[in-house]
Chains A and B, each alone.
Chain A
């Protein structure tokens, strides 16, 4: 059932690499995306990006029992980003913490513009993002996988939101930071876009960048998004196309 989509972009770049894993500055880590991996969820997806392993389940649109959250004219999109205790080298204390609450919030806000929530008044769409293994860039991996899972659930959407990070490590602006590059690096810029229109739905910036570096990182991240977007579409075609 699981097949590896080989990353043809890898090692094709012109610039010689200074990065620890031998990637060029504008290379993504090898990735694969699979749709419809869970039996009991309405929609699901599995994504690997380098050392990241992320599983997403979508339930709904379904009945919302918490009446104070209910919207009379549209559905609510609830996201839960959760890291497994075994996803990192040191055991992560289970349960939501400050970081995962923030990522849950920004994930739902990044995906929301693409979803036709107004078609399902008074209901909820629940997205559960479980990080099984983490190696830098899990929030982007989560968003990318979540939109595949939403499409798998048959939720009406304008576009498939895709996310990718760029940043600065060892004085060089690079795409798709790994864990080591993120930790020792100078900056991290996660970007989520709707690839058809190019609209940005998430833009964060952590660390120090000059305005030129920021612009370079942003453009690099958008290029990375476009590559991932292709894999997202292939994952759905592989599951449902003929």
Chain B
């Protein structure tokens, strides 16, 4: 039962024993034996005594801290903007369940934010980073980074997609309305 780092294993293959190692990512403890859950290569961390698998197949999309997600703002409250999460960026697979995210006013931008409605409005398409997972389907998000924030803003007046005019403001091409946003560096207009 000696496994080496880089060895290719299949679901159920024995990797080691729990007396010697900790079963880490994509492994499970089967009555004292550590086995692989998926097809992938073994990664042996002998310093921390951990065995994990690096999956070679694509993996189910489960949110974890640090993931960048995209979604649509569903509600803006005084202290918190709520977002329906569409999926993980650069991951073709859909999420395993529908997650809803919350962006707290302190996590919306780098500096002080007086009003959350100057950062997000209902319907905006937003990129955000996961900071905390609460329960099964709720996450805390942050947009306090240059490449995070609103990617496509909708006019609250006429629902047209808005054009960016400066770092903090967008303009509606249809009705001429000006609104504030936390605009991402990847704003697409």
- A residues contacting B by CB (< 8 A) are 42-43, 60-64, 75, 114, 116, 120-123, 151-160, 194, 196, 233, 236-237, 240-242
Contacts and interface: CB of A to CB of B under 8 A. Distances in A.
A151 B57 contact: yes
Nearest to A232: B10
A236 B60 contact: no
B176 interface: no
A63 B94 contact: yes
B97 interface: yes
B57 A152 contact: yes
Contacts of B60: 42, 60-61, 120, 153-155
B50 to A, nearest CB: 17
Interface in B53-72: 55-60, 62
A62 B61 CA distance: 9
B161 interface: no
B28 A116 contact: yes
Interface centre among A42, A121, A233 (most CB of B within 10 A): A42
Interface in B5-35: 8, 10-12, 26, 28, 30, 35
A152 B137 CA distance: 26
A42 B8 contact: no
B125 to A, nearest CB: 19
Given A63-B95, A122-B136, A123-B97, A154 B57 contact: yes
B98 interface: yes
Nearest to A120: B96
Contacts of A123: 96-97
Contacts of A61: 60, 96
Interface in B69-104: 93-98
B38 A154 contact: yes
Contacts of B28: 116, 156, 158
A114 B28 CA distance: 13
9 contacts: A63-B94, A63-B95, A63-B97, A122-B97, A123-B96, A156-B37, A160-B10, A160-B11, A241-B56
B39 interface: yes
A43 B55 CA distance: 14
Given A152-B57, A153-B57, A160-B11, A236 B136 contact: no
